A and B are shown apart, each in its own frame.
Chain A
Amino acid sequence: MALLDYFTRKKEKQVTTASKAKERLQIIVAHERNSRNKQPDYLPQLTEDILQVLRKYIKVSDESFSINLDKKDGNLNVLELNIELHEEQSID
């Protein structure tokens, strides 16, 4: 009965399920976006260490070196190093 509903309806505004849904989504979406874009914390130090080792043997300028960690599907991560080598670069 609509008439009965009208009088028995609670006056105070309850927290709606839609607002719960929005709140939950905002949290999970923000979290997932973060993990999509985030590079691991160890990457800068790893870059530095690799460069040091390389420079024991060859000349490597900062521009001719790049490092990239890519997340592929599932659990596969690919660490990609790009080092440009030129002639007469060996140190000895």
Chain B
Amino acid sequence: MARIIVVTSGKGGVGKTTSSAAIGLGLALKGNKVVLIDFDIGLRNLDLIMGCERRVVYDFVNVINGEATLNQALIKDKRVSSLSILPASQTRDKDALNKENVGKVLEDLGKLYDYIICDSPAGIEAGAMMALYYADEAIVTTNPEVSSVRDSDRILGMLASRSRRAELGLEPIKEHLLLTRYSPKRVEEGEMLSVEDVEDILSIPLLGVIPESQAVLKASNAGEPVILDTESDAGKAYQDVVDRLLGETVDFRFLVAEKKGIFSRIFGG
């Protein structure tokens, strides 16, 4: 049985697609068969972050409408052969998805892959509900900032009440907190919620902390998921997240600010 993992957040712009891309690629690099699905119908972007935007021919909605087979729509990643991407459509309206047809596609994919990563759109509309409905696990992507934390809590409510697992009274979706754009220096200065603060408020287990990093923009510029930048702090932090998803115990890194040397302390900078 494939593990279906939704990457969700409520709020937009917190790093869902960046995280989906990095985690999906990381899982595939570890030898797993992974498919990444973009659920943001009308605002496709996962293809761009993955660097395969020019290879999109058919999309998720084409498959649902029977205009293309799954095999025609899936894009094989050029870097890792065990990774595929199912792009969202750019033009169709978002009512194209419903529980029945999404369920069918996920069932077919489940026979071919070990991991199905669903990149959710922002908001709590139909598209986001479809992305989380069939999930076994949820990665709740959150910035240490008031509106993002509040929206994450609302999504936690949806996971607990509107998912397939909730409706059927099955074991609840396994929730993971992924804190992104974390700045230890600002936390130390009392300007940013700390990891512990966010854990306290949301009370779900911590999967990872991704530091605010210039590597993320560089990665999206190039269409190379940031986990491939193995020298960068964000790349290393995503690698830790992948290892934890695979059941390893990994210490959390990048939680404290780098100490300034004596010269920069005196002279500034």
Contacts and interface: CB of A to CB of B under 8 A. Distances in A.
Interface in A28-58: 28-29, 32-33, 36
B153 interface: yes
Contact of B193 (A6, A22, A29): A22
Given A2-B265, A2-B268, A32-B153, A22 B190 contact: no
B50 interface: no
A19 interface: yes
Q: How would you classify the secondary structure of chain A's contact residues: helix, strand, loop or mixed?
A: helix
A79 interface: no
Interface string B168-191: 000000000000000000010111
A18 B266 contact: no
Contact of B201 (A14, A25, A36): A25
Contacts of A16: 189-191
A36 B191 contact: no
B247 interface: no
Contacts of A75: none
B93 interface: no
Contacts of A14: 190
A33 B201 contact: no
B267 A25 contact: no
B201 A18 contact: no
Given A2-B267, A2-B268, A25 B187 contact: no
A38 B27 CA distance: 40
Contact of B266 (A3, A25, A28): A3
9 contacts: A1-B268, A2-B268, A14-B190, A21-B193, A22-B193, A26-B200, A32-B150, A32-B153, A33-B157
Given A6-B265, A18-B197, 17 more contacts: A2-B264, A3-B267, A16-B189, A16-B191, A17-B190, A18-B190, A19-B190, A21-B146, A22-B200, A22-B201, A25-B193, A26-B200, A29-B153, A29-B201, A29-B202, A32-B150, A36-B161
